[in-house]
Amino acid sequence: MSVWSFTVFWVLAALGVFGLWVTLLILGPNRMFRGTAVERAYFAVTETLPEALERWMRSGVGDALAARAERVWNALFGRRNPIIQIFGVVLYWTGLAVFFAQVAPYIPNRYVASWQWYIPANKVFSGVTAIHTHFEQYN
């Protein structure tokens, strides 16, 4: 087994876990899945797991430090934070700019097929759509 196939395996495994996670978070609260394993997994991921992590953190570092960490988390991610939003947008578009400047001239090559040009094009389209819908809701 070569190193390349081992890396591909882990990338596919990570994508599978991420896809399962996102699918679970999207489908979990749906009425169609009430009383099923999907709903139980959704509650385990969104309620049981965070509570268990909080108990583990409080027992490990103490209540005072855990309360500070919770305040910082809520300040950064618990509500709209323009600094974090700006950072995310800059990171997103900078990554695309680096891709188009550094990687694009080498597509297609032996590892990347020519059809994979649609991936960054889709990212640009979804980014523009997200920005448009973000500003449309405030007009």
Per-residue pLDDT tens digits for 55-76: 888 888 888 888 888 888 788 7
pLDDT, greater one: 122 or 31: 31
Rounded mean pLDDT, 18-30: 81
* Tally of CB atoms within 10 A around 42: 19
Band (28; pLDDT cuts 50, 70, 90): confident
Contacts 24+ apart (CB under 8 A), 86-92: 89/131, 92/127
Query: Mean pLDDT for the chain?
Result: 79
pLDDT higher than threshold 80 for residue 48: yes
Band (113; pLDDT cuts 50, 70, 90): confident
**Close Cβ partners of 104 (under 8 Å, ≥ 6 residues apart):** 120
d(CA 130, CA 139): 15
d(CA 30, CA 28): 6
Rounded mean pLDDT, 50-55: 86
| Residue 100 φ then ψ, to 5° | -65, -30
Rg (CA), the chain: 20
What pTM was computed for the model? 0.46
